Structure 1
C-alpha cells in the first residue's frame, strides 16, 4: 500500500476503540505500513495526523518494539506535535517507551534509547506539563518524568515545582495524580538519602 493509499485509508477512521484497533491490527499484520504511519503522524497540521496518532498508540501498546528503528525520527519530531488529539496518544507512547526502559526485564528499548532520545522525551514531557494541555498528556508526562528523575537528579525538583504551582488551577483528576506523584517523589528521595 502506498503512502497516499494508506493516508486515504486512515482518513476513514473514527474515534471508536474498535475502529482504531482494526487499523492498528492492519499495521501489526503488515509492519511495512509502520514507517508510513509515522510519516503521516508527523504531518502535524493535517487532521489525518491525529488519526495516525490514534493508530500509532494502539500499535505501540501491543508491540512497543515497533518504534525501535524509528526512535531517532520519533524523538526528533515529538516537539512538533500540537493538535490536542495527537498530543494525547504521542505522550502515551512516550510513557510506554519510558516504562519499558525502566522495566526490570532486559529489553531492546534499554539497549537502543540513547541519552539524546531520553533528553528529547524529557523536554517534550516538560513542555506538556507547562503548556495548556488537557489532563491526559500531563498525566503521562508526569509518570515519564518521575521515572527519568531516578537517573537525573534535577528532574524531581523541577517536576515538584510545576506540580505544586499548577495544583490549585487543575482538575480533580490532575490533582489526584499530582498528589500520588509528589508522594512517590518524596519516597524516592527518602530512599536516596538512606543509601547515601
Structure 2
C-alpha cells in the first residue's frame, strides 16, 4: 500500500471510534512495512488526516511497541514540527509509554533500543509541550515523561517543579490534579 493509498484509507475509514482506530491499527500490526508511510502522514504538518494517522500509530504502538524502533529517529525528530493538537496528544502518549518502559525495573526492548539522543529529544519536546499552549492531556503525558527522565537527569526535577508551581494557579482541575501528583513524587 502506497502512502497515498494509506492516506485515502485513513481519510475514509478512521473516525473517533476506538473500533475504527483499532481496525486500522491491526492492519498496521500485520503489515509493519506500512509504519514508515503511517509516520510520514503523522508528521505532515497541517494535514487534518495526520491526527487520524497518529491515533492509529498510538493504538498499534500500545499493542506492539517494537513497531516504533525502526523509525524512532524520524518519529522523535518530527515531534517538534507537529501543530495539530489531535496529532500531538497521541504522540505525547507514545512518549509517556516509552519513558515508563525505559525506566521500568523489568528489562525490556525499550531500554535496549532508546539511546541518549532519544532521551534528549523526548526531554526537549516534553518541556516544549508542557510550557506551550497545549491541552491538558498532552501536558499530563509530558509531566509523566519528564518526571521519569528526572530520575536520570538531576536537573529535570527542579525545572519541572518550577514550571508546575508557576502554572498551577492558572491550570484546569485536570492540570492541577496531575501537577499535584507529579509534585508529590518529586518531593
Matched, 1:123 2:91: no
Q: Write out aligned runs for 1:1-196 (5 A).
A: 1-12=1-12, 13-186=14-187
Structure 1 residue 129: Cα displacement: 0.5
- Once the two structures are superposed, residues 62-96 of structure 1 have per-residue CA deviations (whole angstroms, 9 ceiling, x without a partner) of 11111111111111111111101101001000011
How far apart in 1 are the matches of 2:109 and 2:118?
A: 14
Runs of 4+ aligned residues of structure 1 deviating over 2 Å after TM superposition are: none
How many residues get paired? 186
SS of residue matched to 2:9: helix
Contact 1:68 1:108 in 2 (8 A): no
How far apart in 1 are the matches of 2:122 and 2:69?
A: 14
Residues 130-139 or 62-71, more deviating: 62-71
How far apart in 2 are the matches of 1:115 and 1:138?
A: 23
5+ residue gaps, structure 1: 187-196
Q: CA RMSD for the aligned pairs?
A: 0.8
- Once the two structures are superposed, residues 27-71 of structure 1 have per-residue CA deviations (whole angstroms, 9 ceiling, x without a partner) of 111111111111111112211111100101101111111111111
How far apart in 1 are the matches of 2:163 and 2:178?
A: 13
TM-score, normalisation: structure 2: 0.97
How far apart in 2 are the matches of 1:33 and 1:103?
A: 29
5+ residue gaps, structure 2: none
Structure 1 residue 107: Cα displacement: 1.7
TM-score, normalisation: structure 1: 0.93
Which has the larger Rg? Answer: 1
- Once the two structures are superposed, residues 105-128 of structure 1 have per-residue CA deviations (whole angstroms, 9 ceiling, x without a partner) of 212221221111110110000001
How far apart in 2 are the matches of 1:167 and 1:113?
A: 32
- Once the two structures are superposed, residues 168-193 of structure 1 have per-residue CA deviations (whole angstroms, 9 ceiling, x without a partner) of 1111111011101000001xxxxxxx
- Once the two structures are superposed, residues 135-189 of structure 1 have per-residue CA deviations (whole angstroms, 9 ceiling, x without a partner) of 0000000000000000101000000001000001111111011101000001xxx
How far apart in 1 are the matches of 2:149 and 2:66?
A: 19
How far apart in 1 are the matches of 2:168 and 2:147?
A: 17
SS of residue matched to 1:82: coil
